[in-house]
Amino acid sequence: MSTETLSLGKALNLGLRRAMEDDPKVVLMGEDIGRLGGVFRITDGLQKDFGEDRVVDTPLAEAGILGTAVGLAMRGYRPVCEIQFDGFVFPAYNQLVTQVAKIHARSRGKLPMPIVVRIPFGGGIGAVEHHSESPEAYFAHTAGLKVVAVSNPVDAYWGIQQAIAAPDPVVFLEPKRRYWEKASVDRDATPGPLFASRVVRGGDDVTVLAYGPMVKTVLQAAEAAAEEGRSLEVVDLRTLSPLDLEPVYDSVRRTGRCVVVHEAPLTLGLGAEIAARVTETCFHSLEAPVLRVGGYDTPYPPSKLEEEYLPDLDRVLDAVDRSLAF
């Protein structure tokens, strides 16, 4: 049995390693990912074992990373691009939105784009500007891109392999503040599907949805709520595009209440889309409007203020209280 306790970061590292072993066409590209092993060490040791042709330290140019990934994909490679931090994806945004996302449709399927864009995202690490952002809505809003956000080592290990094997471009969001969180990972298990949400805690009173770094926060809130006799059902959305809301609808039909939590700013965040869909689909079951907890509609603040900016256990519980008070 190969069950072991792995941090989320190490699980990604092993998942990447396995994907590279399984498919010689997998090529990792990014800034400082080779000798340094990436600033978060997610690619640690991979260049040593797979060589400089498969783990490529790129020039400092994100448009170049994504743009050349397109050409490599046309040659049958499966580029896995690392963007060093969320706030640095924007030089590549043009390539992602105007090219990577649209080439499959433009070519009527003749040019598949099996590109993965790994992005450490979210705040909570006390960093300077551009190192703590949650840009997922920009990508989820772009047809042609798939977007997933992992929350735990097991999903990290399997998810990165599944994303690499997927035929479409996948923006793969890694919750950087959870890189050091550990869990037991069975590397012989059969993983569930990547593009599926999952109920991670059963409950009856309120359905609370989260993804990426907020899953842990919401599970902690559910624990605290349980002590006060309130039972929260927690869904890890996992896939942000396409959304997989059937498990959410099933849950909301039972609880009648729904709260969506994310770090990204509230306005036009994932919560807005989810609230609309849950309302459309579960209108007659709802006892309260779908509530959202998110970052404020401001630039991400200096790190001394990030605790105030980021949703935390108390803000989740506050929303749960408000939902129950309807």
Ligand X SMILES: Cc1ncc(C[n+]2csc(CCOP(=O)(O)OP(=O)(O)O)c2C)c(N)n1
Point out the residues that are catalytic: 131
Using CB under 6 A as the binding rule, whether residue 84 contacts ligand X is answered as yes
What angle, 0 to 180 degrees and rounded to 10, lies between the N-to-C axes of helices 313-325 and 214-227? 60
Amino acid at 8: L
**Identity of the residue, 95 or 207, whose beta carbon is nearer to ligand X in the bound complex:** 95
The whole-angstrom separation of Cα 43 and Cα 30 is 10
Task: Name which position in 199, 231, 303, 324 contacts other proteins (CB under 8 A).
Answer: 303
72 binds, among other proteins, ligand X, none (CB under 5 to 8 A by kind): none
Q: Which three-class secondary structure state does DSSP give residue 292?
A: strand
**Identity of the residue, 143 or 305, whose beta carbon is nearer to other proteins in the bound complex:** 305
Q: How far is the CB of 60 from other proteins (least distance, A)?
A: 4
Q: How far is the CB of 89 from ligand X (least distance, A)?
A: 9
Q: In this chain, which stretch among 84-92, 158-166, 167-175, 189-197 interacts with ligand X, using CB under 6 A?
A: 84-92
Rounded to 10 degrees, what is the CA torsion of 280, 290, 87, 157? Answer: -80
Using CB under 8 A as the binding rule, whether residue 297 contacts other proteins is answered as yes
Q: In this chain, which stretch among 8-16, 30-38, 168-176, 191-199 interacts with other proteins, using CB under 8 A?
A: 30-38
Facing residues of 73 across strands?
none
Contact at 8 Å (CB) between 117 and 83? yes
Residues 5-44 that bind ligand X (CB under 6 A): 31
Pairing mode of beta strands 232-236, 239-241: unpaired
**270's tokens:** 């994932």
Residues 278-317 that bind ligand X (CB under 6 A): none
Question: Rounded to whole angstroms, what are the CA distances from 296 to 88, 158, 210, 271?
Answer: 21, 32, 17, 13
**320's tokens:** 């749960």
The whole-angstrom separation of Cα 88 and Cα 50 is 26
Q: How far is the CB of 88 from ligand X (least distance, A)?
A: 4
Binding mask 132-151 for other proteins (x = CB under 8 A): --------------------
323 binds, among ligand X, other proteins, none (CB under 5 to 8 A by kind): none
The whole-angstrom separation of Cα 260 and Cα 254 is 16
Binding mask 184-223 for ligand X (x = CB under 6 A): ----------------------------------------
Angle 19-21-24 (CA atoms, 0-180°, nearest 5)? 90
The single-letter DSSP state of residue 137 is: H
The whole-angstrom separation of Cα 123 and Cα 176 is 8
Q: What is the size of the binding site for other proteins (CB under 8 A)?
A: 40
172 binds, among ligand X, other proteins, none (CB under 5 to 8 A by kind): none
Q: Is 64 left (phi over 0), alpha (psi -120 to 50) or beta?
A: alpha
**100's tokens:** 């990577």
4 binds, among other proteins, ligand X, none (CB under 5 to 8 A by kind): none
Q: How far is the CB of 235 from ligand X (least distance, A)?
A: 34
The footprint of ligand X (CB under 6 A) covers 31, 60, 62, 84, 88, 91
The footprint of other proteins (CB under 8 A) covers 31-32, 34-37, 39, 57-61, 63-64, 87-88, 90-91, 126-130, 266-267, 296-299, 301-306, 308-309, 314-315, 318
